[in-house]
Chain A
Amino acid sequence: MAKLSLRNLRKSYGDTEVLHGVGMEIEDGEFVVIVGPSGCGKSTLLRMVAGLEGITSGEIAIGERVVNKLEPAQRDIAMVFQNYALYPHMTVRQNMSYGLKIRGMKADKIKERVDAVAESLGLITYLERKPKQLSGGQRQRVAMGRAIVREPSVFLFDEPLSNLDAKLRVQMRLELELLHQRLGTTSLYVTHDQVEAITLADRMMVLNAGVVEQIGTPAEVYGHPASIFVASFIGSPSMNLIHAHRTGTGAIRVEAAPGGEEEPLGLTGLESQLPERFVLGVRPEHLEVCPEQDALLVVQVNVVENLGADAFAYGVIGGQPMVVRFPGGHPVKAGDRLAVRAAEEHTHLFHAETGKRIEVTAGVAGVQA
C-alpha cells in the first residue's frame, strides 16, 4: 500500500492537449473516484498512472517513487478493465495466476494465493472454467480477483461496472465497497456514473475537458459545488440552474428565456456581492413551499410526476425549466403557482461567464436562516 501523487499532469496527442495540468495527492488507503463525461480525459489519466499511456509532462509517484519511466509491471499496480480483458483461452485459475507466474513465483505459493482470493470472491467452484462459460458478473469478479492476487500498492479501475446490467451493477458496487473496506488498498476508480462516484468515493475528482473542476469528498462536491459544471453533473435529478441578472435599478431579476418574462428573485441584500449576470443553483430536493412574501422564486407548474416515494413538479420560471421535489402524495398539481424557498447553505451562486462559484457573506432574503 502506498500513497499516489499526481503532479501537474499533462497529456498531448500531437498539438491537441487533452489533459491540462491535473494534480492530486491520494492518501494511503484512500478510494478516489475520477468522474466526468465521456471524452473528459479520465480514462487517459488512469492509463497514464497504469503506464499504458505516456506522460507529456508532470510527475506520477507511487509511495515516494516517481514511476514516470517505469513499465506497467514495475509500478506495483493492478488494473481492472472495462471489458474485463480476461485471457479467453485460459481457465479462471490460469487467468488469476498469470501475473504471479510471470514474476516467477513458486507454483504452490501461487495456488495458495489464488485459492484464498477465489474463496473470498466466491469463485472457488469456477476456477477450472473458461471465461466464456461465466456470466458478466462472474467475469467481473475474476477480473477483480486477478488484480487482488497480485497484492499491488494501487488498484486502478477503468469503468469496471459499465458492462453490467443495472441490478448487477448495484450489487457489484456494494461488493466493491466491502472489498475496499477489507483490503484497504489505495484505489483509483474511473467512471462516468455520478451515482457510482458518490457511493464509492472517499474523495472524488470531477474532470471536465481535461481540467479538474473540483476535488473533494462526495458531501463537499454535492453540497458545495465549485462550478456550474459540477453542480449540473453531480446529483440526480440535476440541480436547477436559473440565469439571473442585476437590472439598471439594482434589482435582481430572473432572466427571460424565449417564451418567458423577467421575474423577481428573492435575493435582496446581495446586490453588491453579485456580478451583473449570474446563475442561481438550487437542488430540487432542497426547495420547499412557503408563503409568497418569503419566496426565493415562484414556479409555474406544468407537469407533476408521482413516483410513489417522491413526486416531481416540472415547471418554468421566466421561461427557464425548473424541477421541485416533494414527498410522495403531495397535493401539488399541474397549473399551480408554487412559491418556494431554500435554506441558505443550499443556495448556490455562480458566475454566468466563468461558471465559477461565488461565495456570499450576508444572509439572503427569502431564504431560511
Chain B
Amino acid sequence: MVEQNRLLDVLTWVVLIAGIALVGFPIYVTFVASTLTADQVMQAPMTMIPGSHLVDNYRIALLHGVGESAIPVGRMLFNSLMLALGISLGKISVSILSAFAVVYFRFPFRKIAFWMIFVTLMLPVEVRIMPTYKVVSDLGLINTRGGMILPIIASATATFLFRQMFLTVPEELAEAARVDGARPMQFFRHILLPLSMTTIAALFVIQFIYGWNQYLWPLLITTDHNLTPIVVGVTQMISRSGDAATAWNLVMATVILAMIPPAFVVMLMQRWFVKGLIETEK
C-alpha cells in the first residue's frame, strides 16, 4: 500500500500490536513463571512481574532436572540438538541425492520413482507409524538415536523442492561439465551443490524446527531417559499421579530453554532462508 492516511496507519499499528500481544503474551507469562518460586506460581492471580529466582530456577533445571524422571535439561537439549541435526541433515542429503538422480539420470521407471516419492507427501508419519515401528524394532533400533532419526529422514517435500531447483539450472551447465570431463558426482559436488546452497539453507531451517519439535515418534521409540528430547521431556515433568506437586516454575524455565535453539537457528539463517525460497535466477 502506498496510500498515506493517518487513520490507516493507526489501524495498521493496532492490528500489528494486537497480533504481537496475542503471540507474545503466553511466552511472557511463561518467562515470568520461570523466574518465580513454586509457591508464587501457584498463587491466583499469578503476578505479571518477573521474580528474583531466575538464576536459581534455570540452574536447577539445566543441571538437575525436574519431576519424577529428573533428567537434566542440558542433557535433553543435547538430545534434541542431535535429533534435529540428524533429521535436517539426513533429510537434506537423502533428498538432494534423490532429486539429483531423478533430474539428471535417465533410468527405467524414473517417472514412477519420482511419483512414488511424491505420493508419500500425502502420508504423514502418524499414518504409517505401526509398520514403521515394526521395521525399526526388527532392525534392533529401538532406544537408539538411529531409530529416532532414520524413519523420518525420507522427505518428499525436500526432494520435490530440490527437483524444482535443479530444473531451473540450465541443461548446458551439465553438458559443459561433461565436456570439461566431470564425472556425475564431480558435477554434483563442484557445480550443483554450490548452486543449491540457498535452497539447502532454507530447508535446513524448516527441517531443523520440524526435527526439534518431533514428539510422537521419539516418545514411541525410546524409553531410555538418556535419549529423551526436550519436547518429550517437558511433558514428563508434569506429574500425572497427583502424589507429587509439579514444579511449574522449573517446567516453565525448561520450556523457555527449549524455545531458544530453534529461535536462534531461524534468526541466524533468516537472510538465507528467504533467499532460498524466493530466488529464481540461476
Q: A residues within 8 Å of B by Cβ?
A: 50-52, 71-73, 77-79, 81-83, 85-89, 98-99, 102-103, 146, 150
Contact = CB atoms under 8 A, between A and B. Distances in A.
Contacts, number: 60
Contacts of B240: none
B181 A85 contact: no
Contacts of A88: 195, 282
A89 B179 contact: no
B179 to A, nearest CB: 5
Contacts of B177: 87, 98
Interface string B164-183: 00000010110111111110
Given A87-B191, A89-B194, A52 B182 contact: no
Contact of B180 (A51, A52, A89, A102): A102
Given A85-B173, A87-B173, A79 B195 contact: no
Nearest to B182: A102
Contacts of A89: 191, 194-195
Given A52-B178, A99-B180, A102-B181, A83 B172 contact: yes
Contacts of B137: none
Nearest to A104: B181
Tell which of B170, B172, B191, B194 has the most Cβ of chain A within 10 Å: B172
Nearest to B173: A85
Contacts of B172: 81-83, 85
A132 to B, nearest CB: 9
A251 to B, nearest CB: 58
Interface of B: 170, 172-173, 175-182, 186, 190-191, 194-195, 282
Given A83-B170, A85-B170, A88-B195, A98 B175 contact: no
A324 to B, nearest CB: 44
A323 to B, nearest CB: 39
Nearest to A77: B179
Contact of A81 (B175, B181, B191, B195): B175
B195 A85 contact: no
A138 B173 CA distance: 18
B162 to A, nearest CB: 17
A52 to B, nearest CB: 5
A71 B182 CA distance: 10
Which of A77, A82, A83 neighbours the largest number of chain B CB atoms within 10 Å of its CB? A83
A73 B175 contact: no
A103 B175 CA distance: 16
A98 B175 CA distance: 13
A103 B176 contact: no
7 closest residue pairs by CB, A with B = A73-B181, A85-B172, A99-B180, A85-B176, A89-B194, A102-B181, A72-B179
A81 B176 contact: yes
A103 B179 CA distance: 11
Given A88-B282, A89-B195, A72 B173 contact: no
Given A79-B175, A88-B282, A89-B194, 8 more contacts: A51-B178, A51-B179, A73-B178, A73-B179, A81-B172, A82-B172, A85-B172, A150-B180
Nearest to A150: B180
Contacts of B173: 85, 87
12 contacts: A52-B178, A71-B181, A77-B179, A78-B179, A79-B179, A85-B173, A87-B177, A88-B282, A89-B191, A89-B194, A89-B195, A98-B190
Contacts of B175: 50, 52, 72, 79, 81, 85
Given A87-B173, A88-B282, A50 B179 contact: yes
A72 B178 contact: yes
A221 B236 CA distance: 88
Contacts of B182: 73, 98, 102
A103 B183 CA distance: 11
B107 to A, nearest CB: 16
B192 to A, nearest CB: 10
Given A87-B191, A89-B194, A79 B181 contact: no
B194 to A, nearest CB: 4
A225 to B, nearest CB: 34
Of B172, B176, B282, chain A has the most CB atoms within 10 Å of the CB of B176
Contacts of A98: 177, 180, 182, 190
Contacts of B178: 51-52, 71-73
Nearest to B181: A73
Contacts of B170: 83, 85
Nearest to B190: A98
Given A85-B170, A85-B172, A87-B173, A102 B186 contact: yes
A335 B282 CA distance: 57
